[in-house]
Amino acid sequence: MRLAKYLAHAGVASRRAAERLIAAGRVSVDGEVVTHPARDVDDSSRVAVDGSPVALEAREVWMVNKPPGVVSTARDTHGRPIVTSLVRSERRLYPVGRLDADTTGLILLTNDGELANRLTHPRYGVEKTYRARVAPAPVPERALRALREGVELDDGRTSPARVRQLEPGVLELRIAEGRKRQVRRMCEAVGHRVVELERVAFGPLRLDGLGRGRARRLTSAEVERLRKAARG
């Protein structure tokens, strides 16, 4: 296994971040600093980052129904509740992407850096589905059409979204991008403020039946469905 992939599988970082650690000279193999991410390693290799030993650990993926006010980080310097505190696991888990503190719904946590990178990288086009309550209501067809075609934001034009109005002022939006506060900004760009926002699906997985603030570990079949969705 290549060194960068080994670090990603060990939960140290995503593969890209692992490559940066290696290039910075922070990784050693069998006591020797290695600066090339393609170096082959196996279970018998003594891999260390900043002098601390690294070993492969069992990979886990969890689904969490994030409540409002909880931040999507593994730690917070302001003392706010963090999403990792909702999961009972001995592994070092990290959020797959982020949800705003005031956005609720489905977020994944994992120690599989490679899978996390694939699920969030626009190249692989994994859709996230949101339900947004907006004001004013209802949303006219011209605004829905603009969302479907892509709207201009301050960081560039969005890719086309799949949008339908479930009831007056309640939209279901499916996007494969992950820009900061993207759904809120898209709706504002067509003249509608988001009052409530919930992510209800991530790729092939839906929240169905998981209560607010609850978490569960994904089955091997569910993880495999995620991997297939992230193969592009």
Alpha carbon of 13 to those of 112, 114, 144, 165, 204: distances in Å? 8, 8, 38, 39, 24
Instruction: Number of helices (H) and strands (E) in the chain: give both, helices first.
Output: 6, 15
The active-site residue, picked from 42, 43, 76, 100, is: 100
32-33 and 61-66 strand pairing: unpaired
DSSP code of 83?
G
Active site residue 100: yes
Residue 135: CB atoms within 10 Å: 11
Task: State the pairing for strand pair 104-110/94-95.
Answer: antiparallel
Provide the annotated active-site residues: 100
